[in-house]
């Protein structure tokens, strides 16, 4: 990652910030002598976000890095120069002009494009209030990985006694899927890359922890698959009639080659998965579970965002168990940002 020393300053008048620092996509950044091969991002100054009527302004203190962000930085899905990131947590500094959503001063967590910035404008349907007792560093681990786990399990149709296989169970989506499936009363089989990668999974609800799919003989009803490739094919072969594979991700990067007639037989399904629409209700469910201690948040890497390269490299190299959390803010108090004079919708902060 390139850090341009001249790029990043804040000028401020009466609490109004003119520019904010952000991690932006820059494929050439990895060509720099000071950047690692995995980066393709640069810390830069970007214009202060201008919220729409149904958006709040949030001063971001923490962001979390997802495997998908690494793909986005290189695939063109996030254009060159745009702010990367999906998971942000922080404090509301301006309420939504249309009167919806949280008040100034509320701690929130969000799933939003362009999350890796000091200040972000966020749709009220993309965030949830963070309950007391849950750190923002923990809350920020929940959006992409937690919502993917929750929704893919829901789509597959959970129920007590169902046999659920979670591949990539050591990762962000995987660790949440194991716990949520166990909470629903399923028999959970967690598949990991090595014995060490399985640490802690039995304690959080996995009935079986397997390396790959070694030794798995009995059919399963649900597969939450983050790995793709040959493991997806093997999981399909293990799927019981009526069962469902949710194809959430493809970290293996390998093709899945189905032998002839593998898809012929009693009905079962392979379903593609993507997070879309408002996530506020699911985020609220996840933050409440985490605050109660009913959903553990494992943070395998945490550090300041200028060490992005280190986090990205560790995630790619499968050295992170659970989530990577980037610290964005300096810990300064968040100054409420008034509406421009033509608007007067600011609401008081919580008592
Ligand atoms: N569709 C959606 O809306 C959605 C939402 C969230 C995530 N995703 C996707 O789901 C996948 C998992 O995301 P995540 O955030 O949970 O990632 P993660 O934290 O990096 O976990 C992925 C896991 O995959 C396993 N893996 C197996 N082969 C791998 C390989 N060749 N390279 C890297 N990892 C490998 C690793 O476990 P072992 O080391 O134990 O093998 C790793 O823990 C990604 O493809 C992501 O893009 C999609």
**213 & 319 share domain:** no
**Do the Cβ atoms of 107 and 129 come closer than 8 Å?**
yes
- The domain that holds 122 is classified in CATH as 3.90.180.10
Which of 2-6, 177-181, 184-188, 209-213 comes out lowest in average pLDDT? 2-6
CB atoms within 10 A of CB 217: 6
Are 135 and 7 part of one and the same domain? yes
**What is the distance in A from the centroid of ligand 1 to the CA of 51?**
32
Is the domain of 150 the same as that of 267? yes
* Same domain, yes or no: 32 and 8: yes
Mean pLDDT in residue range 61-84: 95
Tell me, yes or no, whether 279 lies in a domain.
no
Same domain, 210 and 312: no
Beta strands in the chain (DSSP E): 2-3, 12-13, 16-17, 19-25, 41-47, 55-65, 87-94, 107-111, 119-123, 127-129, 163-166, 187-192, 208-211, 220-225, 239-247, 269-272, 299-304, 323-327
CB atoms within 10 A of CB 278: 13
321 CA closest ligand 1 atom index: 43
Q: Are 154 and 76 found together in one domain?
A: no
User: 256 and 149 in one domain?
Assistant: yes
Choosing from 73, 115, 150, 168 the residue with most ligand 1 atoms within 8 A of its CB, the one to mutate for a pocket test is 168
For residue 51 and ligand 1, the question of a CB distance below 6 A is answered with: no
318 in ligand 1 pocket by Cβ < 6 Å? yes
Give the model confidence (pLDDT) of 121-141 as tens digits: 999 999 999 999 999 999 999
Domain-ending residue, one of 238, 272, 306? 272
Q: Which residue has the tokens 């399990």?
A: 153
For ligand 1, mutation pick of 72, 226, 298 (most atoms within 8 Å of CB): 226
Do 158 and 127 sit in the same domain of this protein? no
CA-nearest residue, atom 30 of ligand 1: 252
Question: Can you give the pTM of this predicted structure?
Answer: 0.92
Mean pLDDT of 66-86: 94
Q: Is 114 in the pocket of ligand 1 (CB under 6 A)?
A: no
Query: pLDDT tens for residues 335-350?
Result: 788 877 655 444 444 3
Could you tell me if residue 43 is inside a domain?
yes
Contacts of residue 114, defined as CB under 8 A and 6 or more positions apart, other chains included, come to 22, 82, 83, 84, 85, 120
Average pLDDT over all residues of the chain: 90
Q: Is the CB of 305 under 6 A from ligand 1?
A: no
Whether residues 135 and 159 fall in one domain:
no
Residue 95, domain extent: 2-140+297-327
| Cα gap 284→118, rounded to integer Å | 23
Query: Which sign, positive or negative, has the C-alpha torsion 134, 138, 141, 145?
Result: negative
If one residue of 145, 173, 234, 317 were mutated to test the ligand 1 pocket, choosing by the most ligand atoms within 8 A of its CB, it would be: 173
Q: Once rounded to an integer, what is the mean pLDDT over residues 297-308?
A: 97
pLDDT band at 170, cuts 50/70/90?
very high
Whether the per-residue pLDDT at 33 is higher than 70: the answer is no
The count of domains in the chain is 2
Q: Are both 196 and 120 inside the same structural domain?
A: no
Distances (CA, A) of 274 to 146, 147, 247, 278: 13, 10, 9, 13
């Amino acid at each position: 990652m390139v850090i341009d020393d001249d790029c990043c300053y804040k000028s401020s008048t009466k609490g109004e910030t003119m520019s904010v620092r952000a991690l932006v996509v820059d494929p050439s950044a990895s060509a720099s002598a000071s950047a690692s091969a995995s980066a393709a991002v640069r810390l830069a100054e970007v214009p202060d976000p201008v919220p729409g009527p149904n958006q709040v302004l949030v001063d971001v203190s923490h962001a979390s890095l997802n495997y998908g962000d690494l793909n986005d930085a290189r695939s063109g899905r996030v254009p060159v120069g745009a702010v990367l990131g999906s998971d942000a947590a922080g404090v509301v500094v301006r309420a939504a002009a249309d009167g919806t959503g949280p008040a100034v001063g509320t701690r929130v967590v969000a799933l939003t494009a362009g999350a890796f910035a000091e200040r972000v404008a966020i749709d009220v349907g993309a965030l949830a209030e963070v309950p007391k007792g849950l750190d923002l560093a923990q809350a920020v681990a929940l959006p992409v990985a937690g919502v993917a786990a929750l929704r893919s399990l829901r789509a597959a149709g959970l129920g007590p006694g169902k046999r659920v296989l979670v591949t990539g169970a050591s990762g962000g989506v995987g660790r949440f899927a194991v716990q949520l499936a166990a909470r629903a009363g399923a028999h959970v089989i967690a598949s990991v890359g090595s014995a060490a990668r399985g640490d802690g999974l039995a304690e959080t609800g996995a009935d079986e922890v397997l390396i790959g799919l070694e030794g798995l003989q009995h059919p399963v009803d649900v597969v939450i698959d983050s790995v793709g490739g040959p493991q997806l094919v093997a999981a399909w072969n293990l799927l019981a009639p009526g069962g469902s594979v949710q194809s959430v991700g493809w970290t293996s990067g390998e093709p899945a080659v189905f032998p002839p007639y593998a898809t012929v037989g009693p009905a079962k399904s392979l379903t593609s998965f993507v997070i879309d629409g408002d996530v506020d209700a699911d985020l609220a469910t996840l933050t409440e579970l985490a605050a109660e201690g009913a959903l553990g948040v494992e943070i395998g890497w945490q550090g300041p965002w200028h060490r992005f390269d280190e986090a990205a490299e560790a995630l790619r190299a499968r050295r992170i168990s659970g989530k990577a959390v980037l610290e964005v803010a300096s810990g300064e108090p968040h100054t409420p940002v008034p509406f421009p004079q033509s608007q007067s919708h600011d609401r008081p902060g919580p008592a």
